[in-house]
């Protein structure tokens, strides 16, 4: 079990088992017509060790780690690391299209597009 004290030097709350369990439940109850959720290929600790910013810790982080390493090695020369950059940007584009398809499915089927605030009246 993770505790806040286990993650020294970070103000970000460590990942807990609950989000992973929810993701596994989503995969098991896959809805036809929706793209399946992708699998995380790197762990939280690997992203932390590679100093990936929190906003970039998504399903494409496994491609961002080698891209950043290449950038550091080549002093951020924009003419280098083109293959790594292309792979990362393609992954981000595919993820964007996946989220767009989910939005479209929810909108067409009357599923709420956002989580309402606690205590807010239900205006359906």
pLDDT of residue 32: 77
Q: What is the mean pLDDT of each run of 10 residues along the chain (124 residues)?
A: 47 55 68 81 94 94 96 95 96 94 90 70 58
Concatenated DSSP letters of 32-93: TTSPPPPPP-S-HHHHHHTT--GGG-STTHHHHHHHHHHHHHTTT-TTS-HHHHHHHHHHHH
pLDDT of residue 111: 83
Q: How far is 60 from 87, CA to CA, in rounded Å?
A: 9
pLDDT of residue 6: 47
pLDDT of residue 81: 95
């Amino acid at each position: 079990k993770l505790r806040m004290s286990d993650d020294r030097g970070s103000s970000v709350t460590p990942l807990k088992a609950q989000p992973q369990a929810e993701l596994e439940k989503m995969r098991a109850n896959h809805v036809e017509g929706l793209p399946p959720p992708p699998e995380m290929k790197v762990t939280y600790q690997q992203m932390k060790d590679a100093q990936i910013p929190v906003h970039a810790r998504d399903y494409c982080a496994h491609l961002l780690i080698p891209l950043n390493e290449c950038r550091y090695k080549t002093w951020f020369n924009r003419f280098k690391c083109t293959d790594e950059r292309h792979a990362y940007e393609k992954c981000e584009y595919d993820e964007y299209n996946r989220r767009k398809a989910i939005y479209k499915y929810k909108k067409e089927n009357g599923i709420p597009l956002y989580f309402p605030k606690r205590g807010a009246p239900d205006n359906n």
